[in-house]
A and B are shown apart, each in its own frame.
Chain A
């Protein structure tokens, strides 16, 4: 019994000792997540707009982009940007590569989420806009988009959560974010459990806060429902 308690004490001793040492790496995880969500959303909106132009060429390009992103692993995409693109003369530092890769990746999913949400807005809404003399752009901006964004929030939130966890893959291109630092600490101490436990706690904390924020947004957007 005492051995059990002692080992638990030892576990938390290591965990508490290492927890503060994670902070710079957690900050990087936050930066990566934030930028990939932000840029991914902007990029996703942009891709969706290209698709909405109904121009065949643009539609084809976005289709190819989405199918490539969805058809290959993110890990491979990151390797390609970090190791492959320099061979074509496009060289970025590792942080930029990671942000580009993650945003490029989530952008594809986010554009599909937006597209689905826009298709989900009842056609009568567009007709009502037309009937008061609005043009296509005005209908999109004042009527379709606000309703679509609201529809998209739950799926979008899911994608944001995935983006936070996907940022851990940036460790493979030498970014010392939470997962990489955890591996380094493990290598230094040969004590994986408490260290991985701390890493897990940080991810859980970040995602819990994000979920909380998303729930709050959903709640606020519900004011127009009964």
Chain B
């Protein structure tokens, strides 16, 4: 982590019809930083993440990536910001290796050989080099999520967004996915992680954000958030979990 701000979120508002989901979020994300976003259901965690890469459109405020405010050019932005979904969303009609190499080939026009080579390296990195030629339906949830991470990494993103990456997994499969994310953190990847794995958040994060009713109710180091919470909602939230 260094002191360069890679992503700045300014007064972000978002509503679904009359329902206000985000009510003015301000956040500076430093390069190499790992931020966990926690909060109850409906607090706006996922929406915040999805607004950053434009899967949901903000109603007000700015997303500033590397000093430039994002206007309508979300497609370009998404090449630089990887995302991992709760339900993986692998492409079922493509083999594992093609799931990973499709982005570079189609979006970056990388040659077939080069994209495959890179995909193999990524598969090795997530420990699935033997699954190259099978289809997504033939691997476990934990393996799928690791492929999804590799698919996002294949675009060489500057930031990775994780939207509850382990929430859809059987308990015994959670560890293998968290391990990959932890490895990325060690390598200095900038990451925003929406998670319910408090132990993991504590361990991996530089900062933890507690969202409540569409606002950042509290933000601090894992120690501050988990050992010495100030906000009443946060206290209740932490109590309900332990």
The residues of A with any CB-CB pair to B shorter than 8 Å are 122, 124-125, 127-128, 130-135, 138, 142-143, 146-147, 150, 223-226
Contact = CB atoms under 8 A, between A and B. Distances in A.
Nearest to A150: B93
A224 B135 contact: yes
Main secondary structure of the interface of A (DSSP, over half): helix
B75 A131 contact: no
Contact of B79 (A125, A133, A143, A225): A133
Interface in B116-163: 135-138, 148, 151-152, 154-155
B137 A224 contact: yes
Nearest to A131: B83
B107 A146 contact: no
A128 B90 contact: yes
Contacts of B39: none
B42 to A, nearest CB: 20
B93 A132 contact: no
Interface of B: 53-55, 74-76, 78-79, 82-83, 85, 87, 89-94, 102-103, 106-107, 135-138, 148, 151-152, 154-155
14 contacts: A124-B89, A128-B85, A128-B89, A128-B148, A130-B55, A131-B55, A131-B83, A132-B78, A134-B103, A134-B106, A134-B107, A147-B92, A223-B135, A224-B92
A226 B78 contact: no
A127 B93 contact: no
Contacts of A223: 135
Contact of B102 (A124, A127, A132, A135): A132
- Most interface-central of A125, A133, A146 (chain B CB within 10 A): A133
A226 B76 CA distance: 36
Contacts of A226: 137-138
B75 A132 contact: no
B93 A133 contact: no
Nearest to A133: B79
B79 to A, nearest CB: 4
A224 B135 CA distance: 5
B91 A135 contact: no
Contacts of B94: 224
B72 to A, nearest CB: 12
B78 A133 contact: yes
Contacts of B89: 122, 124-125, 127-128
A132 B85 contact: no
A223 B54 CA distance: 34
A130 B83 CA distance: 10
Which 9 A-B pairs rank lowest in CB-CB distance, beginning with the nearest?
A: A133-B79, A132-B103, A128-B89, A224-B135, A124-B89, A131-B83, A133-B78, A133-B107, A226-B137
A220 to B, nearest CB: 12
A133 B149 CA distance: 15
Given A124-B85, A125-B91, A142-B106, A132 B135 contact: no
A127 B135 contact: no
A129 to B, nearest CB: 8
A133 B155 contact: yes
A225 to B, nearest CB: 5
Contacts of B83: 131
B82 A131 contact: yes
